[in-house]
Amino acid sequence: MTKWKTLTTQYLEKNNWIALRKESCITQTGKKIDEYYVMEIQDVSCVIAITKEKEEQNKKEKKVVLVKEYKHGVQHEILQLPCGYIDKGEEPFAAAKRELQEETGYTSKKWTPLGKFAGSPGRLTHYYHFFLAEECEKTSEPKLDELETLSVFEYSWKDAEEQLKKQNTDLVTPLGLALAKKVLEN
């Protein structure tokens, strides 16, 4: 399959956060589209963080680390995986390690890449890169940037799945848990 032919590109907005472009294109079937809008956004690294086994109430259990953060786009607090934008020139894995420590204070020495997926490939240019971090330990306090206010939670796997059904979340978090569960079961 061939790509669409781009006839013109006009940037309507371009800043440190996004670039919004309007293009005139011709599709593979020859249909001309005068106004097709695409938003360029940085890629995102997401971490499915699993703690070291801890003893609680006379049983040993690993926990899933999730964060709850206000997201202005939907104007709600969202329960989600620790995630963040990949800085220019930064590798996805380095961003995953950085975001886990910055948002939660946890670190890990056991990492598994789980793949990358386009979030909304018809209109957005970015990918989500998923990483499983096992045997996580809290080694510092979170180091949030000026726009972040979040809370960190540890849930059993079952409780994490239940909380995601009850609370506002995104599409990324259930996908990340499903990817990690498949790896952890093997």
Q: Could you list the active site residues?
A: 146
Q: Report the distance separating Cα 45 and Cα 19, nearest Å.
A: 20
